[in-house]
Chains A and B, each alone.
Chain A
Amino acid sequence: GENVEQHPSTLSVQEGDSAVIKCTYSDSASNYFPWYKQELGKRPQLIIDIRSNVGEKKDQRIAVTLNKTAKHFSLHITETQPEDSAVYFCAARPNTNAGKSTFGDGTTLTVKP
């Protein structure tokens, strides 16, 4: 089955700096890669996603890049703000068995004012 590895597990940045979180996946059949943000005590919420036929997608201060050959994808947050502090999860879903979804272990991002 699919295995998703996420790094780093914790990340601390100064307000205004950029943050990068990286994930690798093992199943070449995976073709959809969402990112979720989970604030303390809240439910995960989708912040950005990318499909396998796209190399990069951007939405204001956040962007996701995908390298299908190397089987890795990354979340980039620019001009970080204290409200970006949360746990971020990457995930991979395969086209062949789209019911299944595998998540990374999460990255705790702390943005220091």
Chain B
Amino acid sequence: EAQVTQNPRYLITVTGKKLTVTCSQNMNHEYMSWYRQDPGLGLRQIYYSMNVEVTDKGDVPEGYKVSRKEKRNFPLILESPSPNQTSLYFCASSLSFRAYEKLFFGSGTQLSVL
């Protein structure tokens, strides 16, 4: 089944403890992106990747890192999480970076930083 898989689904951590949220797609998509969703603020783009080894900042990249060493995987890294990074995170992918390509979203990761 074609899908975008995120893990974990829920994560509770403490301030300063490094964590990684994984994202994997099995559709051979070139484009992948991370978003955070906060109440009343919609989806805000954190980082995106046009292809392997090509990443760029979205609108809210501070405090996050990403890497794209393989086409299927696009992990989101929080080196030193803080409470203001408590949020619902979505990974998404599309066939290419062209604007009109349909975005497929993962099921989300609810992160709480205490």
Interface residues of A (CB under 8 A from B): 1, 6, 9, 31-32, 34, 42-46, 49, 51, 89, 91, 93-95, 98-106
Interface residues of B (CB under 8 A from A): 31, 33, 35, 40-45, 48-50, 56, 58-59, 90, 97-100, 102-103, 105-108
Contacts of A98 in B (CB 8 A): 97-99
- CB atoms of B99 and A102 under 8 A apart: no
Q: Smallest CB–CB gap between B29 and chain A, Å? A: 13
- CB atoms of B42 and A6 under 8 A apart: yes
- CB atoms of A43 and B107 under 8 A apart: yes
Contacts of A9 in B (CB 8 A): 40
Given contacts A93-B99, A99-B33, 19 further A-B contacts (CB under 8 A): A31-B99, A34-B102, A42-B107, A43-B108, A44-B43, A45-B105, A46-B102, A49-B100, A89-B42, A89-B43, A99-B50, A100-B45, A100-B59, A101-B103, A103-B42, A103-B43, A105-B40, A105-B41, A105-B42
Interface centre among A51, A95, A102, A104 (most CB of B within 10 A): A102
In the complex the two chains form, what is the Cα distance from A43 to B48 in whole Å?
Answer: 18
Contacts of B50 in A (CB 8 A): 99
Known contacts A43-B90, A43-B105, A44-B105; A103/B100 CB under 8 A:
no
In the complex the two chains form, what is the Cα distance from A89 to B44 in whole Å?
Answer: 12
**A43: nearest residue on chain B (CB-CB)?**
B105
Known contacts A44-B90, A51-B100, A94-B99; A99/B42 CB under 8 A:
no
Minimum-distance CB pairs A-B, first 7: A32-B99, A98-B99, A93-B99, A43-B105, A105-B42, A103-B43, A103-B42
In the complex the two chains form, what is the Cα distance from A86 to B107 in whole Å?
Answer: 16
In the complex the two chains form, what is the Cα distance from A91 to B43 in whole Å?
Answer: 9
- CB atoms of B59 and A102 under 8 A apart: yes
Enumerate 25 A-B pairs (CB-CB under 8 Å) in ascending A order.
Answer: A43-B90, A43-B105, A43-B106, A43-B108, A44-B43, A44-B105, A49-B100, A51-B100, A89-B43, A93-B99, A93-B100, A94-B99, A98-B97, A98-B98, A99-B33, A99-B49, A99-B50, A99-B56, A99-B97, A100-B45, A102-B45, A103-B35, A103-B42, A103-B45, A105-B40
